[in-house]
Structure 1
């Protein structure tokens, strides 16, 4: 118990005792001496109480500052010690989880919604210093959590798409569709213009789309690979989930999967321009100008650009007449290095801009990976079938921040 609390409790006892003694008309000598003693103690306790509060105030502030950061820090440390091989053996043999792995799983289960064993996305990172036990298990090369790896090395990241982790429920983005207008007086007594209502529309992320990454682990791998198995599972889930999320951001068809940028252009209000000619800096420059005229950007360097490898080849091959400068050189001089990937549809390009801190698109990931065991499909050979369920959604808050070019072919 804190000293200040002890003193306050004692002061209350003294006040109660004094109240009983003061109420007597003729107190005895002992009672009079007792009142004097308690009065002296009470005054001394007041001094001690103020001193205790001063000393404890510093302790409270230090403890409060520690509590503000302890939760996130401790959870990150727990995830750093998360062992996927424990999950594999728990699903295969019913082995009990322990240590940091058990704590993280229990924390995720508190949010609910898992049929199997929940695995945090950050636990699928490829960690430094891992070794493998067989030639068929490749060496880890990156030190990144799965979500971070999906985006910095992907088209979605270079287009400025932002990832949001959602525990449960729906996340809505109110987007202004109408607002204030500026007007001048026509004469000294007239109004400056008609009032215009401020209106918004909502773009939402919903847990309506669930996909699964499946893998089969042989009995030999379970018995032989040891810690190398954990690295292999992590890399395998990392690669397949990352590639699919990157695809749906760009080309998701909607319905059973999230609606991506290209198929959802009309839904999101994205302008799509049919070029019908070979890719050139002039074609991209026209779209940059359109961004500027819409007050979305003030410099070409603020544009993010992505297209397929064939367009890169055409731009690099096309030389300006009488020079050794290619269309690719002109493009990268103003825009920077675009993302080149076959995730982008053939003969197409996507241009985005981050406006006032708002990303051109948001990918919502719900909770972690729900890892479920299938004990029947491969039971005859003792193989372990794992399914990692992922719930995700994608939306574009403002179509103004994205433009699509099609027909970029000679």
Structure 2
């Protein structure tokens, strides 16, 4: 098929619609694209101001396109509602967010974007600061157009209503009339198709260059079959879509009609299956998107988990409130200390009356979970809130970060305390507020390509998919508090109690996530999951202990994951403190006095290094820990044991939480150990 820049001679012979423009784009249905440049950079705020669109004409397969920037022409709602900053229009490669966008009086679209602090985004942002990446591209969809048919030229298509929906960093620009201080320059004419290919007039081209400015498209004539199965000679566009039937060569026979009917039945089956999955998992919008883009059940399974996680993240507070009817103010009033005092002194009427609100909330949370609390059930929306405090901004040991209620990150909430103290919870993908035993689609292996004969059918097992069920297991951990401390009413003491409980739970969850046996009421940890890569460090270490890994062992762990096509930039190495000391003193190559395995920027083999003493001596875990899904149910069951250390005047606080681990793609992780 010829490229748009090669189609010269005749204009389109039928009316053009916005649907044809949107459907005719290449690139997986991700819309049209225009390219501009970076304008200004604020390194401290990690923001960049850029120009993303102008009225410059750009050659498309349907003619010469001009984007209107007049009043009401551009719908900026999606950009201004947390629009994504991507790399090369890849929806799975987000590096930042759009802070604001606008259309200025000079008919140029401009936006302020902020880069995230992930390793990937930091790399891209540094390239922008250094001037290596200076071009950006906007992805957009068309709603209304005005078409002008021109003799001897390509049709002029003015897009009178359009909506940008993302901005991307790209390498090759197509629209060079906007950018750093160049919004009004007269530049040589640039034409390009929607893939970013460019043909620019050379200086001194003279009359020949003027002729190039009047290019138009020539329809290619081919023999093909139409939607009814008829064999026709037809003019088609660059994507093979029939524009005009020139001649009917053969009407569809009985055999062709049967093939056509089978195709229709297969399409009906695809639509039905996607619709059923969407209805089952409350993902109707995702199913409709895949139906429109021609994707199948395999694509639905691959994207469903991300959809469920995002839905859980966005709506968990709303869901929790609907469960027990608590408002934000009521959640802020819930006090661990009042509940503990009442549990520790069941005959103290004053303590019981003071904790009446906590007991009422506990009863409602227990009823929502369908089980009885052992002590006091702390509702999930209480755990997601940060207690009020006028502290020092989070720098103190018990400080909750000042008036953190207005902080959307809720950095000192109990759940966040838990994640900060648990390495695995911080690296994994959390799914909070689960109900029942949800089934999670998993990828068991990679896709396989193969050849089929004429009229052959694709095998259904080309992508190995599976399904695992989250099943709640109860983890119990304890902390201790003195009776004198319990008498305090300081918010700092409240935060300290919550912090100690979070630490106790975090260590238990971390250990189970790495080494859980899957038996004796434990979840199944990474080390014991089938499909996880294993590297044997081999041999006994000094003094009969576990063998310590070499640089070659570290590289092999990465290679095992890469061999399964599961290596990504966000992988990490996790080990204990002694292993970190070994890596800091172990040369990569013996006898060369070279660099140690542990780099000065706290990385190992180019990936982040994490340390937790939950890892056994001699063990190392490596991979994309985002493949580890951590499910947590309901609230926190808090009980008080006043008897074990009664002679010392101490109370033992026991916290119980329902949780489970599921590995979405086991081959994306590697367990290194001395197996001898």
Normalised by the size of structure 2, how large is the TM-score? 0.41
Q: Which residues of structure 1 form unaligned runs of 5+? A: 1-67, 132-136
- 1:105 and 1:292, CA in 2 relative to 1: closer, same or farther beyond 3 A? same
**Matching of residue 256 in structure 1 with residue 501 in structure 2:** no
Deviations 1:12-50 (A, max 9, x none): xxxxxxxxxxxxxxxxxxxxxxxxxxxxxxxxxxxxxxx
Instruction: Choose from 317, 336, 339 the match for 1:87.
Output: 339
Partner of 1:5: none
- 2 CA distance for matches of 1:185 and 1:231? 64
Instruction: Choose from 200, 223, 236 the match for 2:500.
Output: 236
Instruction: Choose from 366, 372, 389 the match for 1:114.
Output: 372
**Structure whose residues are more often helix by fraction:** 1
**Structure whose residues are more often strand by fraction:** 2
Farther off after superposition, 164-173 or 191-200: 191-200
Deviation at 1:202, TM superposition (A): 2.4
Deviation at 1:88, TM superposition (A): 2.3
- 2 CA distance for matches of 1:322 and 1:271? 30
Instruction: Choose from 549, 568, 581 the match for 1:279.
Output: 549
Deviations 1:31-89 (A, max 9, x none): xxxxxxxxxxxxxxxxxxxxxxxxxxxxxxxxxxxxx9994797455433322222123
CA contact (8 A) 2:571 2:622 kept: yes
Deviation at 1:216, TM superposition (A): 5.3
SS of 2:632's equivalent?
strand
Farther off after superposition, 238-247 or 386-395: 386-395
Partner of 1:60: none
Deviation at 1:183, TM superposition (A): 2.3
SS of 1:113's equivalent?
coil
Aligned length: 325
- 1:374 and 1:289, CA in 2 relative to 1: closer, same or farther beyond 3 A? closer
Deviation at 1:263, TM superposition (A): 4.5
CA contact (8 A) 1:252 1:261 kept: yes
Deviation at 1:294, TM superposition (A): 1.8
- 2 CA distance for matches of 1:305 and 1:127? 37
Q: Cα RMSD over matched residues?
A: 4.0
Greater relative CO (CA pairs within 8 A, separation 6+)? 1
- 1:339 and 1:385, CA in 2 relative to 1: closer, same or farther beyond 3 A? closer
- 1 CA distance for matches of 2:604 and 2:640? 52
CA contact (8 A) 1:109 1:118 kept: yes
SS of 1:129's equivalent?
coil
Normalised by the size of structure 1, how large is the TM-score? 0.65
Partner of 1:345: 616
CA contact (8 A) 2:477 2:656 kept: yes
CA contact (8 A) 1:85 1:227 kept: no
Deviation at 1:405, TM superposition (A): 0.9
- 2 CA distance for matches of 1:343 and 1:223? 34
- 2 CA distance for matches of 1:197 and 1:336? 32
**Matching of residue 211 in structure 1 with residue 476 in structure 2:** yes
Deviation at 1:381, TM superposition (A): 8.8
- 1:97 and 1:202, CA in 2 relative to 1: closer, same or farther beyond 3 A? farther
CA contact (8 A) 1:309 1:341 kept: yes
CA contact (8 A) 2:622 2:670 kept: yes
CA contact (8 A) 1:373 1:386 kept: yes
Deviations 1:111-140 (A, max 9, x none): 142322211462796765359xxxxx9744
Deviation at 1:311, TM superposition (A): 2.4
- 2 CA distance for matches of 1:69 and 1:151? 17
Deviation at 1:388, TM superposition (A): 2.4
- 2 CA distance for matches of 1:304 and 1:171? 28
- 1 CA distance for matches of 2:648 and 2:469? 45
CA contact (8 A) 1:150 1:246 kept: no
**Matching of residue 317 in structure 1 with residue 585 in structure 2:** yes
- 2 CA distance for matches of 1:243 and 1:126? 23
Largest Rg, 1 or 2: 1
Q: Which residues of structure 2 form unaligned runs of 5+? A: 1-314, 402-410, 539-546
- 1 CA distance for matches of 2:499 and 2:445? 47
- 1:324 and 1:196, CA in 2 relative to 1: closer, same or farther beyond 3 A? closer
CA contact (8 A) 1:306 1:350 kept: yes
Partner of 2:572: 304
CA contact (8 A) 1:165 1:366 kept: yes
- 1:233 and 1:311, CA in 2 relative to 1: closer, same or farther beyond 3 A? closer
CA contact (8 A) 1:124 1:235 kept: no
Partner of 2:509: 245
